[in-house]
């Protein structure tokens, strides 16, 4: 009989423990959404900053100017050919 009583008390303790854990699990799941949102915003900001840094780099500016000048020269040559 003591074994049954001990098992019943143990079972009640386990149920109480899991119910207490459920509350914290719900809170954890609620916090996970906030954490994922914050993580997404942080990644977006870092990505935006990285792209801006790359776009403003000397290499990107020089490459952009090179292609712009080449296109303008090609455009002028095509206009000269079409207007004899």
Domain count for the chain, please give it.
1
> What digits encode the pLDDT tens for the residues 19-30?
666 556 677 777
**Spatial CA neighbour of 37 closest among 26, 45, 48:** 45
User: Tokens 């386990």 sit at which residue?
Assistant: 14
Contacts of 54 (CB under 8 A, 6+ apart): 60
Question: Is 34's pLDDT higher than 90?
Answer: no
Residue 55, domain extent: 2-82
> What digits encode the pLDDT tens for the residues 41-55?
999 999 999 999 999
Distances (CA, A) of 42 to 6, 30, 31: 52, 19, 16
Q: pLDDT class for 10, splitting at 50, 70, 90? A: confident
Half-sphere exposure at residue 55, Cβ-oriented, CA atoms within 13 angstroms: 6
Per the CB < 8 A criterion, the answer to whether 54 and 60 are in contact is yes
């Amino acid at each position: 009989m003591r074994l049954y009583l001990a098992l019943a008390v143990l079972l009640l303790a386990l149920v109480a423990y899991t119910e207490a854990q459920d509350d914290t699990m719900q809170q954890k799941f609620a916090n996970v959404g906030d954490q994922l949102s914050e993580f997404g915003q942080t990644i977006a900001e870092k990505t935006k900053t990285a792209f801006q840094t790359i776009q403003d780099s000397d290499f990107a500016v020089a490459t952009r100017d090179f292609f712009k000048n080449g296109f303008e020269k090609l455009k002028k040559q095509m206009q000269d050919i079409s207007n004899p």
